[in-house]
Amino acid sequence: MLPVLRCCRTRGTSGQGLPIRALFVILICSLVPADALWGVEELDSIVAVVNDDVIVASELEHQIVLAIPAIRDRGMTLPPRPDLERQVLERMILGRLQLQKAKDLGIVIDDAVLTETITNIAARHGMKLEELRATLESEGVHYEDFAADTRLKLITTRLQTHEVVTNIRVTDQEIDRFLKRESGRLIKRSDVRLSHILVAVSENAPTVAVRKAEAKAKDLVKRLRGGADFAQLAIRFSDGRRALEGGDLGWFPLGQVPTLAQKAARSLTKGECTEPLRSPSGYHIIKLADFKGSGPKIVNQINARHILIRTNEVVSDDDARNHLGQLRIRILGGDDFATLARSHSDDTGSALKGGNLGWLGPGDTVPEFEKAMSTLAPNQVSAPFKSSFGWHIVQVIERRTQDTTDEAMRLKAREVIRERKADTAIELWLRRLRDEAFVEIRLPSAEEEKSR
């Protein structure tokens, strides 16, 4: 990694645009044991046994109370009470199973990581950390509870990475096939918003159960095409993880759409849904809720080279600046930039190439470096300037305007394929985790719905 290049980037926008209260609900409903938050002491009736743990009625009731505002914030009508109980309980069971697994593996999140994550959440909502705290408190959410739930969410993400994502492999052949298949379409339809209903049935289920699930899925498609509201059917009948959100999966770049929904994302018209699609986890119904388009990616690029002098206990800022000033005078006097870079630059990666950094686009370097390059004509050498890496002089070799669509897609292809595989793999892993666990549901309404 070249020292002037950014070493990290942000990923994802989960929660962006949602009310803070809704974001809290999304976290808490799936993970938090209510007794840990509310201090339940009285003896409750048990609504589910999850391995060696139990979920009691008061916990379920607390999660239902917390789920209701999120449903209403999305403009959806509340489902019948038995459907809401079933969906919330299933989410709690999956959350409890994941926490049990994480505990067995010793997965923890320290305070520094937690604080950084919450700070980023606040920034996505245009707030500082203290402003987020005040907003939560004003909406009746204790900051400590929010922090606890954020920690638990991070734990499950790390668990899924450990158990699933790290085992995913992407080959060069897959990247080639992806680019051949997707590159042109990605320009025409760049982002899609999908909704999803899952009628769960295991891969090895008896034929009778499979046919029953298929019939249920086909009936749902018929109702949808007859004008039924997708979100309402999802919240009542879907076994998917986003059922309580009306089946809304959110926005995907077209290349990151899960494998099962790829054809639908490329070919459906807005508002259209698929026939039931079979997978090892059951029958899926996909709706194209919306899409966006974009054209080629044209960027201004700079081919540049630099010399870096780092400061330390021995080399002060003045020493570094003066040293570079002398090197600049020598370059302006006719000395070869590349030769001086090889002899003097502390950026060992680029020094071997005469200080050459290759073609750089917007955002590829730290702001101080990008600002210095922006003021230079070709072959001009900057005055010494400071960045977080040390002191630099930079020379712009040439500039160009470049269509980077294909290049950008090639760079993203491996990550896109990996994320696509991860989505499917996590869904199967969760279903397997659920199937292999001892779960006894003692909620009559939930058991009756499952038997239909």
How high is the pLDDT of residue 404?
65
How high is the pLDDT of residue 72?
85
How high is the pLDDT of residue 437?
94
For the stretch 300-347, pLDDT in tens is 899 999 999 998 888 899 999 999 999 999 999 999 999 999 999 999
Helices (H), 74-110: 81-105
Whether the pLDDT of residue 44 is over 80: the answer is no
336's tokens: 């070869």
Cα–Cα distance, 369 to 367 (Å, whole number): 5
Least confident interval from 315-319, 392-396, 447-451: 447-451
How high is the pLDDT of residue 316?
92
410's tokens: 């090639």
* Count of beta carbons in the 10 Å neighbourhood of residue 49: 16
For the stretch 147-187, pLDDT in tens is 888 898 899 998 998 899 888 888 889 888 888 776 655 55
- pTM, 2 dp: 0.53
Cα–Cα distance, 25 to 146 (Å, whole number): 9
- Sequence-distant (6+) residues with CB within 8 A of 225 are 273
Whether the pLDDT of residue 6 is over 80: the answer is no
- Please report, in angstroms and rounded to a whole number, the separation of the first and last CA atoms in the chain: 57
What percent of the chain has a predicted confidence (pLDDT) above 90? 50
How high is the pLDDT of residue 294?
62
Q: Order of strands across the sheet with 385-387?
A: 356-360, 298-309, 390-403, 385-387
CA–CA distance from 133 to each of 22, 29, 106, 137 (Å)? 15, 20, 29, 6
Helix and strand counts by DSSP (H, E) for the chain = 17, 11
CB 254 within 8 A of CB 150: no
* Domain spans in the chain, listed from the N-terminal domain onward: 20-163, 167-295+407-451, 298-403
Q: Which of 59, 67, 65 is nearest to 32 (CA)?
A: 59
Whether the pLDDT of residue 65 is over 90: the answer is no
How high is the pLDDT of residue 278?
94
* Count of beta carbons in the 10 Å neighbourhood of residue 144: 11
CB 235 within 8 A of CB 244: yes
Highest mean pLDDT among 35-44, 227-236, 293-302, 400-409: 227-236
Identify the band that residue 133 occupies on the pLDDT scale cut at 50, 70 and 90: very high
CA–CA distance from 239 to each of 157, 246, 382, 447 (Å)? 20, 11, 61, 13
Whether the pLDDT of residue 348 is over 70: the answer is yes
Cα–Cα distance, 144 to 59 (Å, whole number): 18
Backbone angles phi, psi at 120, to 5 degrees: -65, -40
CB 328 within 8 A of CB 384: yes
* Count of beta carbons in the 10 Å neighbourhood of residue 271: 12
Q: Top-level CATH class of 298-403? A: alpha beta
* Count of beta carbons in the 10 Å neighbourhood of residue 406: 12
How high is the pLDDT of residue 36?
42
Pick the CATH number of 167-295+407-451 from 3.40.50.800, 3.10.50.40, 1.10.357.10, 3.40.720.10: 3.10.50.40
How high is the pLDDT of residue 3?
36
Question: Quick one: 20-163 is in which CATH superfamily?
Answer: Porin chaperone SurA, peptide-binding domain (1.10.4030.10)
Highest mean pLDDT among 27-31, 67-71, 262-266, 290-294: 262-266
CB 25 within 8 A of CB 67: yes
Cα–Cα distance, 183 to 192 (Å, whole number): 15
How high is the pLDDT of residue 448?
53
Q: Which of 292, 286, 259 is nearest to 274 (CA)?
A: 286
167-295+407-451 and 298-403, same CATH topology:
yes
Identify the band that residue 38 occupies on the pLDDT scale cut at 50, 70 and 90: very low
Least confident interval from 162-166, 186-190, 266-270, 432-436: 186-190
